[in-house]
Amino acid sequence: VRRFADRLFDMVGRIDRLILNAGVMVPPYHVTKDGFESQFQVNYLSHFYLIERLLPLLEKGQDPRVISISSLAGEGGLIRTDVELEAIAHVKKEHYSPMRSYRESKLLQMIHMRELAEKHGDRITFVSVHPGIVNTDLFYRGKYGKVMKTLLKPVAQVGYWTGKLYTPEYGAKTALYLATTDDPLDNGGYYADSAPRLSNPIVEDDEYRAQARNLSRRWVELS
């Protein structure tokens, strides 16, 4: 991520749209070489670092917007103190819950978008998105991926017919709407199906948002 940010400064003079969609979901326990649980680093901390680095380019953009692909799972996140944030970032294997780590990483994406909107919302728009339940390879990774793909294929067809499961193309719809619309957007808001959606109330906690940002900046060596 650091190398990518450095290259962008060499390649472009401004950024108008930045859509963040790197992600892993409920993988086996893994600690990155930087020392963080993998979902925390890939889903949240890498995006946190990238945006913080690219703010100067975004500030030069034309109607600049940052769109973070979060998840419905983040609506159920519970993390609300710096101690809990530390525990999620450096969770031990014996305490690891794949779904909890995924859920909290998605909540943190929402929190970061809201915090950035508070600090830079006069120049840049920041929003987070639930794309829907999308039938992608995200579901088919890991030890039982092939089995899951076989079992879920007929379920996926039913999901398409009933509208409960989205194709990847349809799953991109809300992010593309937010990137291209001339409609006024809720800066720091959370969207699904191209419309505002109620977020996790923890996102409104000013004190925790500041704690999360300060601790994350220290982890990525920006402060």
What SS3 class is residue 68?
strand
Residues 59 and 145 in one domain: no
Whichever domain contains 195, its CATH number is 3.40.50.720
Q: How many domains does the chain fold into?
A: 2
Where residue 155 falls among pLDDT bands split at 50, 70, 90? Answer: low
Eight-state DSSP code of residue 40: I
Residues 126 and 201 in one domain: yes
Structure tokens at 97: 């819950």
Positions annotated as catalytic residues are: 102
pTM for this model (two decimals)? 0.87
Which strand ranges, in their side-by-side order, compose the sheet holding 65-69? Answer: 17-20, 65-69, 125-130, 190-192, 195-196
Please write the tens of the pLDDT for every residue from 51-107.
Answer: 999 999 999 999 999 999 999 889 999 998 999 999 999 999 999 999 999 999 999
Mean pLDDT check: name the lowest of 32-41, 53-62, 152-161: 152-161
Residues 151 and 117 in one domain: no
Q: Say what the pLDDT of residue 132 is.
A: 76
Residues 79 and 156 in one domain: no
Q: Say what the pLDDT of residue 183 is.
A: 95
Residues 51 and 78 in one domain: yes
